[in-house]
Structure 1
């Protein structure tokens, strides 16, 4: 039986970039009758290096997620989450009762959606690079086996942090300094066709904001069009594509936005009378100055890929018209030099 208490950590300062202010854990578990219940603890625990390290690892894991949606709190739409957050930020209540309110609101949504989502609710407030954040996650409790000092096999429990599915982060500083922003709330987007995180989105009660997929799609189009307009040499085309992709992947890994003006450095310097990439993209495409990268779209910079009718194909763009020839008239691809493992499979099938 899973029994997790509700923990509160005081501020823990450290020489690293994240300053943990509060960290709370609640337990969501089913009782003997199968009803989902909430377990809370009202005592505060001193912060520790482990608590800080754990929080920082979650911050990095969340920041590197590319499947995030962005949103904001619409003042015209009632939101219990927003109201509780506002009271806390106005110092009308302490962090402990604030977190308790959020936990009860989440439980209410779980009951409303008839979903028995067991796990550990984590709520953390921290400062990172001079900005305050509120991180909310539901972490899955896993069971495993360990060995003690006497080499005896013992049951153990751990929190699954490698495949976080239910998580949101509010940029508190941006929310308060730039209330017109449409992206200070972010949450992990569920897979297409799945409804498992509907209760979590309803719990946040936020409105759709920045469309990250659209921004990345438009960026890919801008890169392709600029390459044509700039009349780059074939080797420059491939190099620029690789550099843009590398830059975007580094930003994604670090949890930073793509900065449109920084992409200029990924292309050859234009002639004096020509536009650089930043000017070209700004003048011709509906792109934000900064936006998060999306891993699935970045693949399109350097690869061709597609699937259908039982066939899945993916290859580097540099191979087109070299080892791979496309016959548009007959809708045919000719591949010269098959991958060795594919060749062996085909030979084996022929022999059998």
Structure 2
């Protein structure tokens, strides 16, 4: 991933209410293996992070000035260092208002991956490590911790500039502790949520389940296609890329590459062409299928123990919330 510009500023902020101190870098970071490795490690941790949210910029205002500064930088009116300095000063002011936050080293990186440009922003903490020299002496050093990210965001600059109607060109880590803890960072980015990643993922999986059922596929084929979906979605989340419905359709059925795509298009699922897949939801998705003597059963693995209970000793399944369509068919048959 070629890095166009990168810089690190430091905000010294303790959670005891003492004033925050901002230490601005005097220049952007020169090209080096070290900064390449740093960004790679940050991106790797960020992509693997669960619970990210997706959205787009609020309209530029005094409360949300970052998009305006970023626009000037992208237009060439200001340079990267000036843009990040303004941003770091704004972030410091927001930190100052929150006694629940600590400072850190703020990484800004404008980089390219393939044909797409991104801006990554992450607050990194330091950790102490022990190293051993050639003479077997030991020393303690402080290093940036790239394995733990609580405050980070990635802006797809290409999509932001080329697709103004998009509602998912920004992703950011959403704290499990609620807005009180991390709301200031979302306000700093000036981002509002535009896409419900877990909800979109659940809808995609529902559409896939409906598709498999409509195709009346053999057990092995259904299991194979499920694994293709899981593998593809997992790979995309690791890369930080969305799931593309058309590409997924081609992978699911190479002989009929448009089958799943057309099925979704002709049904009222309301799915976008690209979906920011939720890793946790994908990991929960597996299908159990089986057929024997006129009986066909297929259900998603996460339903086991919830809507479906298995009694191993008796060899029985108990289903809660039987589909309405099936209930109606059974009622009509029993009344005939």
For 2:2, what is the secondary structure of its paired residue? strand
Do the aligned partners of 1:146 and 1:155 also contact (CA within 8 Å) in 2?
yes
User: 1:250 maps to which residue?
Assistant: 235
- Show CA shifts across 1:13-60 (max 9, x none): xxxxx1111111111224899432111231455321222232233234
Q: For the residues of structure 1 that align with 2:5 and 2:254, how far apart are their CA atoms?
A: 48
Structure 1 pair 54–211 and aligned structure 2 pair: CA distance change class (3 A)? same
* Consecutive unaligned residues in structure 2, runs of 5 or more: 287-299, 321-336
Which segment drifts farther, 159-168 or 259-268?
259-268
User: 2:283 maps to which residue?
Assistant: 299
Note the C-alpha offset of 1:268.
Answer: 5.5
Q: For the residues of structure 1 that align with 2:102 and 2:150, how far apart are their CA atoms?
A: 12
Note the C-alpha offset of 1:235.
Answer: 2.5
How many residue pairs are counted as aligned between the two chains?
Answer: 302
Q: Cα RMSD between the aligned structures? A: 3.0
User: 2:271 maps to which residue?
Assistant: 287
User: 1:23 maps to which residue?
Assistant: 6
Q: For the residues of structure 2 that align with 1:321 and 1:158, how far apart are their CA atoms?
A: 53
1:200-215 equivalent positions in 2, closer than 5 A: 200-215=185-200
Note the C-alpha offset of 1:328.
Answer: 3.9
User: 1:103 maps to which residue?
Assistant: 88
1:164 and 2:161 correspond: no
1:138 and 2:135 correspond: no
| TM-score (structure 1 length as normaliser) | 0.76
Do the aligned partners of 1:230 and 1:270 also contact (CA within 8 Å) in 2?
no
For 2:229, what is the secondary structure of its paired residue? helix
User: 1:326 maps to which residue?
Assistant: 317
Note the C-alpha offset of 1:177.
Answer: 1.5
| TM-score (structure 2 length as normaliser) | 0.79
* Consecutive unaligned residues in structure 1, runs of 5 or more: 1-17, 308-312, 330-352
Note the C-alpha offset of 1:106.
Answer: 0.6
User: 2:293 maps to which residue?
Assistant: none
1:199-238 equivalent positions in 2, closer than 5 A: 199-238=184-223
